[in-house]
Structure 1
Amino acid sequence: MPLEHSETIAQLANGELNDVVKAFAANPAFRAAEWEELTTEENPYRRPVRPDDLAWLNYGRKMPAAKALKLSALLGHRMLRNVYDSGLLFLPPAPNGDAERDAASFYNDENRILGALAAPILEQHLFSLLPGERKPLPGYSPDQVAAAVEEYHQQRLAEPGRAFTTALGTKDRKASATFVLLQLSAYLPASYLATGRAALGEFDAGHPGARTALLDDYRTWAGLHEEYRALVEGGGLKTTTGAYWQLYLGTSLARGNHLHWLSRDRERYPEFLGALVHQSIDRAVTATRFADVFEDGLGVRSGLLAHLAEQPGHLREFTDRWIEPLIRLYGPSAVRRFHDGFADAAWFAQLWDEDLALQLAWADDIPLHQEKAERISRHIEDNDITVDLDTFVESHEETSTTHVHNEHRLVMVERGEMHFWNNVTHKIDLHEGDKVLIPVSRLHGSTVLSGECTYHQPIIPEDMYARF
């Protein structure tokens, strides 16, 4: 390792935990996006993080569940995915100068060392909320946990999921289906990579069949590459990892990150296996729903989804195969730990469903939110109401990397023009005098089109938002 990397670490030794995260985010490959980087289909290493926002976010603290859809969660999961992926091999579709430059930053010693230091800070910030969200079982015998898993399975079979229902009910179903496909690409490959990582080691004697089962799961995914490619390309997209980085919801990244976290931390093997059982159930019960959305909006029906729809055999036998050896290895507490991993994965799946449904509904009805913005603005002016206000003056092609706000905001263009966007399918033109309402936690970005653009962002209190 070159000496300058050691010097960087030495400088951090006297700093705060957040300084480590800032140092990791300062990697050139993670710099704020430029106007032409809405997508990065030829470069799997270019992953904008909005590092300037870390000046007022504190990752040294635990994040409460109430902020799980807010900015620190989105940026935190972006950074954590970059940590996890820096230990895996990704290649561009074809050699190119931008990818070569960013690969050198993504895989160099300093990035991997800073990532190793930042990972536990980010994991504490993002995952310490999970114990408080678990609903305890009456007891944690193998029978009770297996019954809880089966009950959850039946519940998921009966409930289609709010996100899928919303996608099928939107006006622009092609745009909605495309956005759903983006989210699937953000977590499905990552979940299999986490399983492949978990298979590495020598543990057959302690847990017979486990390594083979994990390897088989990953091998199956590798064998489905052409089916995955056909699905993604059928939707007009590319399979390059991170190609649509700016348009991944934080919850989509979180679902993959949760499995990566458990698979990397070898002390959490029971929790990982619980999360893996959830993943098997989730794949099976959502595959036909994904298929319906993609056929309806994109005209694509995939062999990949037909494969994922296959049920994981008799669920009780499937669960027992993991739990019984865990008791022998870790003692009776392993059963509860297994269920903790399962319950945490289920919590992230539910959060994702809620987040995606809200995003799809908002993005599908921007004209309504422009109308609401006009009404709210008029209400503020007519009643001489004082609200907090941020003002921005940006130059031609200046780009705001996609983000979410921690409160409801209006965007009001005073002078100039900009593109506002929340999908790869289209951009929204905003001109002088235009306004749009952005609810809390809705993902969006923008690019200035004119020589200069001045715009304001009034912060809308919750009670005022509810009135409109």
Structure 2
Amino acid sequence: MLGITRTSTAAIDTLPAEDFQALRGFSAAPAFAQPRSFYTANPYQRPLRPQDVTETLLRTQLTSADLATPEHLLAQRLLLNIYEQDLVFLPKPPAKLDMKAFKGFYEPAHMALGKQVRPRLEQCTYGWLKEEVHINGAWCEESFIAHTDKVLDDVAKAPSRLHQVLTGSHDPRRAARFFLIQCAGDFLSEASAMARNVLGNAGAHTSELFKILIDEYGYGIDKKKHSSIFEGLLEQAGLSSQVHHYWQFYTASSLSLTNYFHYISANHGEFFRYIGAMYYTEASLALTTGHQSRAIRDIFGDEVSTEYFDEHQHIDVHHGRMALQRLIIPMIRQYGKQVIPDIIRGFEEFRLLQDQADEELYAHIKWHDELDAHRARAAMLHASKPADARFTEAQGEVSVLHTHAGNELFWVEEGELDFVVTPQLSVKLSAGEGIIIPKGMLHGTQVTSPSCTYTVTAL
């Protein structure tokens, strides 16, 4: 019987000492150092939280229940850096090239440390997919087409929750900008993972995939490149178009979408898995970008062009058809049914990851809308909850945006700081004020008084 079932499990492995040393060495690079701002000035500045780097990160396989944890966010940040050291990034005007930072980001010995720990980080972040999604039965070309057609038909018929959440927010423009920031981590270097799959010799399949790739890159015309069109959208929406300017504001699940394609593209044994994931994203985007375009238009009116989403609504119909008719079906007929389980696995895994990223986006927007209520609740709870930890920080100190594995009460005892959740939303907390931070919600702080003492309490 054909089917796709899901379970959940976790695995712990032994860890050679040299792997943890490699992780610590990789994480200690200047590119990942403590920042002075929530925003990056160039593509080579990508701050991490070194206090979160522990052996557990390489020893544990996360489950679907662990994706709101700080370990997942850190692992995804590390992986994107490792993957993107294979890509070329140069700053766009008016930013200037920092040659030292440029050379440092691509330093070969540092890159080698990242490649050493990459398999363990991939197991940590994506191992759960193979445990949770089981492809059952003897699939054939006809059953594959029937299943994927049904999934895509359901996507086409479903109402747009994204449009509902963005337009229904207390501040639709703020919500829309947060959505665009989640897209920026991928869209500003769009199709880079795909390029990993057109090298070598895969016969006619290489050429068919390359046709999709050059579409994404505007056939060599920079202004028609999809990433260039997205840069214009960001700027019209009042956002920076510099690569990873909003590095700290990416959610773990939005990073996981970008990293998943690098993961199954950098590991060429997963090539057929990549083809399935690519088919899902190309075919489904042709259906969902219409809703995205409508949301941006309804929120910003004529101030922001929807060309990026409109172009995908058009071209991805073609790309989805190409992926099925010129790649998947010819591959099945040439290599046999043995390739179908990997193709359907990629299709289903990316579908699941996309659903999770959507849910995390919606949860963040809801929290942003309810920030005042979380401040009021903190005031009610503070007197009855003894603090678990106390910290004192100096003026200007930045706490890199991060998450917690559980709900926490954050309370300022002395001084004041800015509590930041999006580029458009922060609140000043002074002595005697606090906020409840739900698990998995991105937040950071910057001290604005000569010093600031605050406490955190697990709820």
Is TM (by shorter chain) over 0.5?
yes
Distance 1:288-1:182 versus aligned 2 partners, 3 A rule? same
1:188 Cα deviation (Å)?
Answer: 2.8
Secondary structure of 2:317 counterpart: coil
**Counterpart in the other structure of 1:366:** 371
Deviates more, 1:136-145 or 1:117-126: 136-145
Secondary structure of 1:212 counterpart: helix
- Contact 2:248–2:401 (Cα < 8 Å) also in 1: yes
Is 1:352 the equivalent of 2:357? yes
**Counterpart in the other structure of 1:215:** 213
**Counterpart in the other structure of 2:6:** none
2-side partners of 1:108 and 1:98: how far apart?
16
**Counterpart in the other structure of 2:266:** 264
Distance 1:88-1:314 versus aligned 2 partners, 3 A rule? closer
- Contact 1:162–1:353 (Cα < 8 Å) also in 2: no
**Counterpart in the other structure of 1:289:** 291
1:377 Cα deviation (Å)?
Answer: 2.8
Question: Alignment length, in residue pairs?
Answer: 438
Q: Which amino acid aligns with 2:355?
A: Q
Q: Deviations over 1:334-393 (max 9, x none)?
A: 111100011111111000011000001101221011112223335x35xxxx6x712111
Q: Which amino acid aligns with 1:238?
A: S
1-side partners of 2:123 and 2:134: how far apart?
20
**Counterpart in the other structure of 1:63:** 62
Q: Which amino acid aligns with 1:309?
A: Q
**Counterpart in the other structure of 1:29:** 31
1:423 Cα deviation (Å)?
Answer: 1.0
Question: In structure 2, which of residues 300, 303, 306 is the aligned counterpart of residue 302 of structure 1?
Answer: 306
2-side partners of 1:77 and 1:365: how far apart?
27
2-side partners of 1:360 and 1:162: how far apart?
13
Q: Which amino acid aligns with 2:35?
A: A
- Contact 2:232–2:241 (Cα < 8 Å) also in 1: no
1:137 Cα deviation (Å)?
Answer: 5.3
**Counterpart in the other structure of 1:403:** 402
Deviates more, 1:128-137 or 1:437-446: 128-137
Q: Deviations over 1:268-293 (max 9, x none)?
A: 11001001011102322221222233
**Counterpart in the other structure of 2:121:** 122
1-side partners of 2:108 and 2:320: how far apart?
44
**Counterpart in the other structure of 1:17:** 19
Q: Which amino acid aligns with 1:215?
A: L
Q: Deviations over 1:255-306 (max 9, x none)?
A: 0110111111111110010010111023222212222332333342321111
- Contact 2:188–2:231 (Cα < 8 Å) also in 1: no
**Counterpart in the other structure of 1:100:** 99
Deviates more, 1:182-191 or 1:256-265: 182-191
**Counterpart in the other structure of 1:39:** 39
1:61 Cα deviation (Å)?
Answer: 2.1
Deviates more, 1:238-247 or 1:403-412: 238-247
1:428 Cα deviation (Å)?
Answer: 1.1
Is 1:186 the equivalent of 2:175? no
**Counterpart in the other structure of 1:251:** 253
Q: Which amino acid aligns with 2:38?
A: L
Distance 1:317-1:194 versus aligned 2 partners, 3 A rule? closer
Deviates more, 1:291-300 or 1:95-104: 95-104
2-side partners of 1:120 and 1:344: how far apart?
18
1:17 Cα deviation (Å)?
Answer: 2.9
Identity of aligned residues (%): 26
Q: Deviations over 1:59-96 (max 9, x none)?
A: 23211221112111111111111111111111112486
Distance 1:23-1:164 versus aligned 2 partners, 3 A rule? farther
- Contact 1:168–1:296 (Cα < 8 Å) also in 2: yes
Question: In structure 2, which of residues 227, 235, 242 is the aligned counterpart of residue 240 of structure 1?
Answer: 242
**Counterpart in the other structure of 2:47:** 48
Secondary structure of 1:427 counterpart: strand
| Structure 2, gaps ≥5 residues long | 1-14
**Counterpart in the other structure of 1:228:** 230
Is 1:78 the equivalent of 2:83? no
Question: In structure 2, which of residues 300, 317, 320 is the aligned counterpart of residue 312 of structure 1?
Answer: 317
Distance 1:84-1:234 versus aligned 2 partners, 3 A rule? same
1-side partners of 2:29 and 2:319: how far apart?
47
Secondary structure of 2:200 counterpart: coil
1:129 Cα deviation (Å)?
Answer: 0.6
2-side partners of 1:304 and 1:115: how far apart?
33
1:138 Cα deviation (Å)?
Answer: 5.3
1-side partners of 2:179 and 2:410: how far apart?
26
- Contact 1:71–1:441 (Cα < 8 Å) also in 2: yes
Distance 1:389-1:282 versus aligned 2 partners, 3 A rule? farther
1-side partners of 2:324 and 2:401: how far apart?
40
Is 1:435 the equivalent of 2:434? yes
Distance 1:79-1:314 versus aligned 2 partners, 3 A rule? closer
| Structure 1, gaps ≥5 residues long | 1-12, 461-468
1:407 Cα deviation (Å)?
Answer: 0.6
2-side partners of 1:315 and 1:14: how far apart?
43
Secondary structure of 2:422 counterpart: coil
Q: Which amino acid aligns with 1:357?
A: Y
